Amino acid sequence: MSNAPDRAVPFSGLTRLDHVGIACRDLDAAVEFYRSTYGFEVEHEEVNEEQGVREAMLRINGTDDGGATYLQLLEPTRPDSPVGKFLERNGEGVHHIAFGTGDVAASAAEVGGRGVRVLDAAPRRGTAGSQIVFLHPKDCGGVLTELVQSTR
């Protein structure tokens, strides 16, 4: 696939909506819902013990920075994980949104320099070997926001 960028990159270096993270109680049921209702297929599945989630990435479309946009379905592996606590408070639904960048450390520094609290002092491991940071939702209009540098 070749999707050459057709526009200027914003100063933050964020070039796509990488994924929408959705909290669910039963990953297999959620995967089956998105497959049988819409025809979206799982491209990748993994357990991230550090974050306490079992997750599946469903590819929705390719993007003009050469990446893609996914739904990320997240089931907690323990009730005291961030997603477990989210489910307890809010029930199932959208948990976060993630913007893709070619350099997550640079984007995090850029955004942090504008007064948004970056929750990770250094990028940590996200899905499929990606590097991620989270931004404080109170600084982002109530939206838990992730920046992700993908290896895909």
**Residues that bind its own copies in the complex, under the rule CB under 8 A:** 1, 3, 6-7, 10-12, 14-17, 20, 22-24, 30, 33, 36-40, 60-65, 69, 71, 91-94, 97, 99, 111, 114, 116, 137, 140-143
CB-wise, 50 or 61, nearer to its own copies? Answer: 61
Residue 20 to residue 94: CA distance in whole angstroms: 7
Q: How far is the CB of 63 from its own copies (least distance, A)?
A: 5
Nearer to its own copies, 49 or 64 (CB): 64
Q: What φ, ψ does residue 19 adopt, rounded to 5°?
A: -165, 165
- Please state, in angstroms and rounded to a whole number, the distance separating the CA atoms of residues 108 and 135: 9
CB of 24 to its own copies, least distance (A): 6
Which of 111/131 has CB closer to its own copies? 111
Q: Whose Cβ is closer to its own copies: residue 69's or residue 77's?
A: 69
Q: Which amino acid is at 143?
A: V
Measured CA distances, 45 to 33, 99, 125, 138 (Å) = 16, 20, 15, 30
For residue 148, count other CB atoms closer than 10 A to its CB: 25
Q: How far, in Å, CA of 95 to CA of 115, rounded?
A: 22
Q: How far apart are CB 8 and its own copies at their closest, in Å? A: 9
Q: How far is the CB of 64 from its own copies (least distance, A)?
A: 4
